[in-house]
Amino acid sequence: MQKCYNIMITGTVQDIGFRALIEDIARLYELKVFTFNDVDGSVKMVCGGENGVITDFLKEINSRGTERGVVIHDITHAEIPFQIYLPHRFSRLYTDDLADIGRKLDKGNEILGHISYDTSELPGISKGIEGLNSKFDSFSTKFDSYIIEQKEHNQWMKGHLLKMDEHNKRMDEHNKRMDEHNQRLEKILLKLAD
């Protein structure tokens, strides 16, 4: 039986891509859902679907969220006793106001400030950069090889085009001789016809 629920998830659930995970799971379960970040730090949603499917949906959110490092303190849900018109598919409500956007920018600036003094804040970045450098070097070597092969091919094409020009000149001369020959034959045929 189709039911509709108010759902609130508390914990460290904002600014970490949690709503995108909820969206993926909602689409997997083909649920009608809209979700938003609330000013109290929670993620809230209204969800409609079969009761058992919604239960599985909430378990999946808890399981996959925890796997991805989301700290979920609690998931509460209450049935809404009346019909709510929900979008056909998942929908995110963007409730971020200027203060919320400013808070996110401040948090990012704070992280970047620490990084400028201590890159240990970014585990694996130096390895990642080394990996990118080696991949770039490999690409560069392959690209250089391609350029050499392309130059060789272009030289071959230039020689081939010169040969084609010579062949075309000979064909033009041949066609000119054939035209002259055909004109002589035409004259002979006209005389024979008279």
**pLDDT digits 0-9 by tens, 87-104:** 666 666 666 566 666 767
**pLDDT digits 0-9 by tens, 13-55:** 988 888 889 989 988 998 888 888 888 889 999 988 888 899 9
- How many residues belong to the chain? 194
**pLDDT digits 0-9 by tens, 113-124:** 766 666 655 555
Rounded CA separation 44/50 (Å)? 19
Rounded CA separation 91/36 (Å)? 9
- β-bridge partners, 36: 44
